[in-house]
Amino acid sequence: MRPQGSGRGREVLAFYGHHRCGSSWVSAILEAACSKLDLRFRQVYDHRMFDGDLAGFVARESVDVLVYMNADWTHAKTLGPQRAFHVIRDPRDVLVSAYYSHRYSHPTDYWTELVEHREALEALSLDQGLMAEVQCRRLQFREMSEWNYEAEGVLELRFEDLVARPESLLLDAFGHLGLVDGRASGRLQTVARQVGRATLGVATPLTRSELADLIEHHRFSRLSGGREPGVEDVRHHYRNGSPGEWRAVLQDAHLSALHEHFPGLVARLGYSGEEAGRGSSTDSETS
């Protein structure tokens, strides 16, 4: 049985993501979990889908678990008390990933403005296209920069850590929402008991094994059509799967433009001190 009064009178449960930060991947796992738990799952991309009133949307739709794909704290904070997790990614890798996605694979049915942007990218070289993408990311990078990283009840995660240890990190994230039992992280045990199943009104939470099965079903090689991380298909949504790719793709001019248009962004998100490194990437990822 679904919880009574969903979306009202209790903490909102949410996942906040950003473009090319693994949001589709995490959202798919979360949606599958909600289906198992009979929770009302809703996904929004931006303010247009909720007419600028996120709290009203959650109440009207009786949302149990919300996914906000292009999260803006201006709207997220209107939900009041909430239990959520938020995923960010190195802006330099976002830039590279966004270029290839916009150039080849991202659907345009909802994002009609992408049609014109894609046509422009088709007429540009890789270097020119990456420079154009710096401008295209201005709204996203502003939202990532202005996010409240100290918000109560919001667990902050880095994409690079999430994809290197998906089972451990998603166990923490889903445990933070109270959707799974048997968490490995002692730090979240008390939180989960407080938020927990009584808050949601769900009789049986996911077990660790059930969550592991969902993660396995959504691993990179399955989503990419059989390719392992690092084997590239530029026309596929799950294109490469290798973090730190910016070191091999971005030139000094791209990095300078990124710094000029978004000063301090890389450091604010906790990726400072890596600008000079252009070695090989380390951990594998699911993009």
| Whole-number Å distance between alpha carbons of 46 and 151 | 20
Neighbours of 71 (CB within 10 A): 27
Domains recognised in the chain with CATH numbers:
12-89+146-221 (3.40.50), 91-144+228-268 (no CATH)
Distance in Å from the first CA to the final CA of the chain = 34
Q: Are strands 154-158 and 82-88 parallel, antiparallel or unpaired?
A: parallel
Tell me the pLDDT of the chain averaged across its residues: 80
Q: Are 84 and 153 in contact (CB under 8 A)?
A: yes
How do residues 46-89 score in pLDDT, each as one tens digit?
A: 999 999 999 999 999 999 999 999 999 999 999 998 999 999 99
How many residues appear in the chain?
287
Residue 72's identity, in one-letter code, is: D
| Whole-number Å distance between alpha carbons of 190 and 200 | 16
DSSP code for 285: -
Percent of the chain with pLDDT over 70: 74
Q: Are 63 and 42 in contact (CB under 8 A)?
A: yes
Q: For 220-235, give the DSSP string.
A: HHHHTTSPPTT---TT
How do residues 188-243 score in pLDDT, each as one tens digit?
A: 333 333 444 334 545 468 999 999 999 988 776 554 444 445 545 454 444 455 67
pLDDT band at 183 (very low <50, low <70, confident <90, very high): very low
How do residues 129-176 score in pLDDT, each as one tens digit?
A: 999 999 999 999 999 999 999 999 999 999 999 888 889 999 999 999
Kindly give the residue spans of alpha helices, DSSP state H, lying in the chain: 23-37, 54-60, 73-76, 91-100, 113-122, 126-136, 138-146, 159-164, 166-177, 189-200, 208-217, 220-223, 246-249, 252-261, 265-268
Neighbours of 120 (CB within 10 A): 15
How do residues 95-135 score in pLDDT, each as one tens digit?
A: 999 998 888 877 766 677 878 888 999 999 999 999 999 99
- At residue 184, the 3 state secondary structure works out as coil
Predicted TM-score (pTM) of this structure: 0.81
Q: Are 13 and 68 in contact (CB under 8 A)?
A: no
